[in-house]
Homo-oligomer: A and B are copies of this chain.
Amino acid sequence: MLRAARKPRYERQPPAQRRQALIAATIECLKRYGHEGLSIRTISAQAGVSVGLINHHFPNKDELVASAYRHFNAELIAGVQAAVACAADTPRARMRAFLEASFAPPNLDAEVLAVWVVFWGMYRHSRLIERVRHETYQAYLKLVRGLLAGLLEGQPARPRGGRAAAPDLRLAAIGLTALLDGLWLQWCLEPGAFRPAEAVALCERWLDALWVGGAGTLIARGLP
């Protein structure tokens, strides 16, 4: 028997690292194949492991997907937060950096939309996914609110136009995220319709308009 240097058939890896690799494979499959890529066999093939391994590191498919959801969101959020941190330390510059990061890769990508769509499609039928969706949404809203709050504080009440009501932070955040998400969604579905810079400009115009009779006056006007 030759003592040839047999190369091992596979490499054992520490659980944390393997889990991370499986999560990455899950996201990659979602990007490429959408909902159809969300199968144990497709994912394990992408990760280069056998079908049985996934259930050794995750109790079931739902938990794997939920982990992928969390990781995917965390990475995107971290990306825009890094962009914000690099910006000049004025509320305006920070907001602009946030907007520009939102309308640039890796965020602005049809493949990213494909991933989100699959996650959205699951939230009503899996309590675990719904919880993750809620958590990530709150984190996102908090980020937007923080940027908006900075803008609101920095801007003093306008001396000119009489009693210009200060914009309502809650409604302003809702409107900005809506405009942001709507533009992002629209661009991913129909990339030719407008340029990312136009989306940023639309958002900034919307922010400017906050003080010209701010969104806060909505409430005071007496809604039903």
Contacts and interface: CB of A to CB of B under 8 A. Distances in A.
Contacts of A33: 125
Given A175-B202, A182-B183, 13 more contacts: A34-B122, A35-B122, A118-B121, A170-B194, A174-B186, A174-B193, A179-B182, A181-B182, A182-B182, A197-B223, A205-B213, A206-B206, A209-B212
Contacts of A120: 113, 117, 189
- What is the copy number of this chain in the assembly? 2
Nearest to A205: B215
A133 interface: yes
A92 to B, nearest CB: 16
Contacts of A179: 175, 178-179, 182
A153 interface: no
Nearest to A130: B189
A96 B98 CA distance: 32
A11 interface: no
Interface in A184-203: 185-186, 189-190, 193-195, 197-198, 201-202
The main secondary structure of chain A at its interface with chain B is helix
Contact size range, A: 35 or more
Given A34-B124, A179-B178, A182-B180, A218 B190 contact: no
A165 to B, nearest CB: 12
A203 to B, nearest CB: 9
